[in-house]
Amino acid sequence: MTDRSIQRIAVLGAGAWGTALAQGAIRAGRRTVLWARSADVAAAINQRQANPAYLPGIALDPTLKATTDLAETADADALILAAPAQHTKALASALPRTDRPLVIAAKGFEAATGRLMTELVAEAQPDAPLAVLSGPSFAAEMARGLPTAVTLACANPTLGRALVDGLGHRTFRPYWVDDLTGVQIGGAVKNVLAIASGVVMGRGLGENARAALITRGLAELMRLGAVLGARPKTLMGLSGLGDLMLTAGSLASRNTSLGDALGRGEDLADILGARRSVTEGVHTAAAVTALADRHGIDMPVCAAVDGILNRGMTIEEAIGALLDRPFKAEEGGGLTGPAGLG
């Protein structure tokens, strides 16, 4: 496969990220169709060149066409699955069986099983070569054409480089790796850590505390990655450390802003009820904690988030559990040293 074969792109999922990816594909010179589950969203894109439900205030390219018919995506040279993580398996299953490349743009584990998105999509589409797109990328900034760099993971180097050439352009720069596991772990766990960062912000615990929490959270991410077969250099790249820096450092992140609201005393159900977009970390926290327990990995920050979201733990109890942990050696951000160090 050469870059000339990636000329037609279908993006499945017209939320903020899917719409931004479709806008980016057009900037890369590709013929692009965007599949939307909602007829209202598709109509707004086609008639007004806008997606006010998910990207308010951003003008979309007039050549971007949206559809609610999955059949209209069948002739694409590559398909990007941009539905939320918990809907990715159903979306892949709804597609007619294909041997076209499927690029997974969701960030998360399957909540019920802890499985990676690639495992789920491979079951539904066994003939399709898979890739994963992840990294520090706020959808609104990318849709506006602001510079964005991400990681594109694909086991086949020829296909990986073709996808990079097909999707990349001056302000959207994908970097190819072959570590699909590492890219997915980084994108999933950072959402949980971002909720913790937001709690620290909302509770007014200070920037010292937030920097410490993010750094120790990175150590947790590295420990889980080591057990699941991720490469440390992947987790220290755009799809791990880079995405964590962006997501955990800004209230523009849905995960950080949710944590901030929790830290200020708001109720989780009320926060989620006021949102249209999915906050992935809410669904991922329990799966991450279950994976850590299954493999005997100490992940206290992620466990604290899971406790707050799913186990009736108060924020005071979660903070106390972290602050009362015994002093231990630092293992260099999780790159080396015993897996049980907290």
* Annotated active-site residue in 65, 89, 190, 233: 190
Amino acid at 103: V
Note whether 337 and 329 are within 8 A (CB). yes
* Token pair of 90 as six digits: 């159903």
Known active-site residue 328: no
Cα separation, 151 vs 109, in Å, equals 18
Handedness of CA 241, 109, 128, 26 (dihedral sign): negative
Cα separation, 58 vs 106, in Å, equals 22
Which letter, b or e, does each residue of 297-320 get, where b requires 16 or more Cβ atoms within 10 Å of its Cβ?
bbbbbbbbbbbbbeeebebeebbe
Cα separation, 335 vs 187, in Å, equals 18
Q: Report, as residue numbers or ranges, the catalytic residues.
A: 190
